[in-house]
Amino acid sequence: MRVIAGTHKGRKLQVASGRVTRPTSDKIKESLFNQIGPFFRGGMCLDLYAGSGALGIEAISRGMEACVFIDKNHYAIKMVKKNIEQLKLENHAYVYRSEATSMLPILHSKKQQFQLIFLDPPYDKADLTGIIRDILKYQLLADDGVICCEHDVSQQLPTTIDPLTIMKHKKYGSTTGMTIYKNNQKMEA
In the chain, where are the structural domains located? 42-183
Q: Are 61 and 84 in contact (CB under 8 A)?
A: no
Q: Which residues contact 176 (CB under 8 A, 6 or more apart)?
A: 28, 150, 151, 152, 153
pLDDT band at 21 (very low <50, low <70, confident <90, very high): low
pLDDT for residue 155 = 87
- Once rounded to an integer, what is the mean pLDDT over residues 18-47? 85
Residue with the larger pLDDT of the pair 170 and 184: 170
Q: Output the average pLDDT for the chain.
A: 91
- Fold assignment, 42-183: Rossmann fold (3.40.50)
**Cα Rg of the chain, angstroms:** 15
pLDDT for residue 23 = 74
Express as a percent the part of the chain with pLDDT over 70: 94
Residue 62 has pLDDT above 50, yes or no: yes
- Compute CA 119 distance to the chain's CA centroid, rounded to the nearest angstrom: 5
- Once rounded to an integer, what is the mean pLDDT over residues 75-86? 96
pLDDT band at 143 (very low <50, low <70, confident <90, very high): very high
- Compute CA 75 distance to the chain's CA centroid, rounded to the nearest angstrom: 18
